[in-house]
Structure 1
Amino acid sequence: MSARRVAITGIGVLAPGGVGTKNFWSLLSEGRTATRAITFFDASSFRSRVAAEIDFDPELHGLSPQEIRRMDRAAQFAVVAAREALGDSGLEFADLDPYRTGVTVGSAVGATMGLDTEYRTVSDGGRLDLVDHTYAVPHLYDYLVPSSFAAEVAWATGAQGPATVVSTGCTSGIDSVGHAVELIREGSADVMIAGSSDAPISPITMACFDAIKATTPRQDSPETASRPFDNTRNGFVLGEGSAFFVLEELGAAQARGAHIYAEIAGYATRSNAYHMTGLRPDGAEMAEAIRVAMAEARLNAEDIDYINAHGSGTKQNDRHETAAFKKSLGDHAYATPVSSIKSMVGHSLGAIGSIEIAASALAMEHHVVPPTANLHTPDPECDLDYVPVTAREQRTDAVLTVGSGFGGFQSAMVLARPERSEA
């Protein structure tokens, strides 16, 4: 029996620069950046003092005072994005079998902001060695356990099928969607609400990345601080956000006349088993993930019309994935446009993989390849077509999106028009 095919029929996005899928795509297609000086806390003592923050009012976006009190910021993002995706899909939840509808949520750092705030509270700003737990919020356990994210999304949508959290560092956003696809393919679910969420812009996260000099120290021009593939780059810009999708079995989606953004035609993940933060320069593990994802999609290198890169803005990463594209696509890598949306929305850790899937699907929807902003002085070792500064009109029938995460995780996903996969 052939495996069931999976389609994206709903998208919801919260990203720096604007809440909602429409605002997200407007920012990308116009090549605007949402990076700025940190406003969430006093960052004057930090090496890196820029981030891509979201101007988010949870009450304005439909969360009740009780939900706001109970949920960490990242969980709030997840619920709002999931609700948008469900509304966009046109599905009537009352018509679904709740036990055949599941949830997967990706997150790298869980309830970072909530835990950071509560530690400062119970320790009296870090002055108490023996903390006073009586000052903690009643829902502190939910902050500690990332599974609460999946529970919140399930409660918000009424899904009573499989509910899972996937945490694989910065590939969590791809891997959570990939896991959901497998559940539908194997017949464990018919509909999945899948995506990821992270809100890591807090003192503890900034301190961790400062320590390893992974984030940019560029403070003079925050809007141009994220510079993937540019020879003047000096680290990534931390971001936050969430993206969720409604995934359905393709035949059922077509039967109900759903709008289909794309089919998730192929997915694979690999580990380099090499170093917690380091990457092999030849990009072999990412290339292998790409090769397997394309094989699963039954597409050749020449079929890939656009690559949505990880493009974090570190020399190590940019050169690593450039090598991976050449190794997996051969000469076609030089003819394929590549871009990094992190140049505009920063790096939201576990959330960014789903946000980049959304960008890939919308690129197919609008026949526009989003640009790599701030790319003015290309790195000579990154010699592919990185779509600098300005978006490009181009028909895209198959898109490759990739992710690379601490721990050695390398993931790849292929989105295609259903008719392209059938051909």
Structure 2
Amino acid sequence: MGGQVSRRVVITGVGVIAPGGNGTKAFWDLLTAGRTATRGISFFDPAPFRSRVAAEADFDPELAGLTPQEIRRMDRAAQFAVVAAREAVADSGLAFDDLDPGRLGVTIGTAVGATTGLEQEYRVVSDDGRLHEVDHRYGAPHLYNFLVPSSFATEVAWAVGAEGPASVVSAGCTSGLDSLGYAAELVREGAVDVVVAGATDAPISPITLACFDAIKATTPRNDDPEHASRPFDATRNGFVLGEGAAVFVLEDLERARARGARVYAEVAGFASRCNAYHMTGLRPDGAEMAEAITRALDEARLDPTEVDYVNAHGSGTKQNDRHETAAFKLSLGHHAHDVPVSSIKSMIGHSLGAIGSLEVAASVLAIQHDVVPPTANLHTPDPECDLDYVPLTAREWPVRTVLSVGSGFGGFQSAIVLRDPS
């Protein structure tokens, strides 16, 4: 960078679509109340599947302000992203019409792209699977948009008027963290002035259920959907599928302060690693996640003892919860036993690529309000998960620095450090 001082990157706008209530306020109210949004699947008949519960978003695109043409053109996940982006833009207070569009970027994360739209269209062109050779004449006119996840970034760029770098980050379940890490670097290096960044996924569909049923990753606790997601609990038996989006406005701190913006948090550090070990398996020592945490803290120039809250991946599988606990102990040392840790997946499920951004939204709101969201449904702690997982009830707690982590199939391990820049 030619000796230039790297810019400090901050979040000044937040937009959320989530199970249990759309918009940032409804999202935070749900989390701090410790309420769960998991329920029996209503989008289609889930009877043939092993796991029949999910965290569905009560989302009406027309009520959310999308036009009939936008609704026809966009997959559900793209609709989430655009609506969340509009909320984030309004929340930021930035006059986007006055920005240089070439200095405005977009970065959107997604794990499974337009799964919902693609599956629906396949059912149509194959006559519900009866035709071996599909009839393309029945395909939707915008079917190509469903095929290429890059259309998500395109839609958000159109919505906010961005003509700078626009990209999709797809790294499985760490996509929501990775998209923000990449976006922050764009601002930090001076490639853009502002980035609209986040992640979206709408994976609640028969094909997704079938895939996770095959590897028994999702919970079969169908008789009690409200309490089916139980991270770190000894009785847990798999994660609950979810959906949603969170989108943010990122800009440099000096610019934000000059215009008197409300600053939610600084993106102080980010790192990602891959365990190069197994498509779905995790090493029990958590070494790769620990390495990502250590590098993110190093970039933030923070000691592990300065972490006030850890927003865990906390998927609710035994393998993940134990792996993550080991990673915290390895990277944070003795401080791992002193810092509160919680998983919001206990309340809003696991929305795959979107969840990392939703967890960042929860993290920055924790900084704003000095409140740690709880881990719902944690009644019987797993003895191997012996940290402070904030069971059942939100906790008032001074929060200046948050560590949020993600773990994804393929061996991806990511960590982001968010802090109050004041």
Q: For 1:4-29, what per-residue CA distance to the aligned partner results, in whole angstroms no more than 9, with x for missing partners?
A: 11000000000000010000000000
Are 1:71 and 2:69 matched, yes or no? no
Aligned to 2:35: 32
Are 1:368 and 2:371 matched, yes or no? yes
Are 1:18 and 2:24 matched, yes or no? no
Query: Aligned letter for 2:88?
Result: A
Aligned to 2:46: 43
Query: Aligned letter for 1:30?
Result: A
Cα RMSD (Å)? 0.4
- The Cα of 1:151 is off from its aligned counterpart by 0.2
Are 1:266 and 2:269 matched, yes or no? yes
Aligned to 1:112: 115
- The Cα of 1:233 is off from its aligned counterpart by 0.2
Aligned to 2:286: 283
- Distance between the aligned counterparts of 1:165 and 1:217, measured in 2? 32
What are the ranges of 5 or more consecutive residues in structure 1 without an aligned counterpart? none
1:347 aligns to what SS in structure 2?
Answer: coil
Aligned to 1:353: 356
- The Cα of 1:95 is off from its aligned counterpart by 1.7
Query: Aligned letter for 2:13?
Result: G
Q: For 1:79-120, what per-residue CA distance to the aligned partner results, in whole angstroms no more than 9, with x for missing partners?
A: 000000000000001221110000000000000000000000
In the alignment of these two chains, the number of paired residues is 419
Are 1:337 and 2:340 matched, yes or no? yes
- Distance between the aligned counterparts of 1:68 and 1:268, measured in 2? 36
Superposed, 1:288-303 pairs within 5 Å as: 288-303=291-306
- Poorly superposed stretches of 4+, deviation over 3 Å: none
Aligned to 2:256: 253
Are 1:219 and 2:222 matched, yes or no? yes
Question: Of residues 408, 413, 416 in structure 2, which corresponds to 1:413?
Answer: 416
What are the ranges of 5 or more consecutive residues in structure 2 without an aligned counterpart? none
Q: For 1:52-91, what per-residue CA distance to the aligned partner results, in whole angstroms no more than 9, with x for missing partners?
A: 0011100101100000000000000000000000000000
Query: Aligned letter for 1:296?
Result: E
Aligned to 1:137: 140
What is the TM-score when the length of structure 1 is the normalising length?
Answer: 0.99
Q: For 1:193-252, what per-residue CA distance to the aligned partner results, in whole angstroms no more than 9, with x for missing partners?
A: 000000000000000000000000001110000000000000000000000000001100
- Distance between the aligned counterparts of 2:113 and 2:233, measured in 1? 31
- Distance between the aligned counterparts of 1:413 and 1:46, measured in 2? 35
- Distance between the aligned counterparts of 2:27 and 2:141, measured in 1? 34
Question: Of residues 368, 378, 399 in structure 2, which corresponds to 1:396?
Answer: 399
1:75 aligns to what SS in structure 2?
Answer: helix
- Distance between the aligned counterparts of 1:208 and 1:160, measured in 2? 37
Question: Of residues 81, 86, 91 in structure 1, which corresponds to 2:89?
Answer: 86
Query: Aligned letter for 2:297?
Result: M
- Distance between the aligned counterparts of 2:316 and 2:168, measured in 1? 27
Aligned to 1:380: 383
- The Cα of 1:314 is off from its aligned counterpart by 0.1
- Distance between the aligned counterparts of 1:94 and 1:127, measured in 2? 50
- The Cα of 1:395 is off from its aligned counterpart by 1.0
Aligned to 1:176: 179
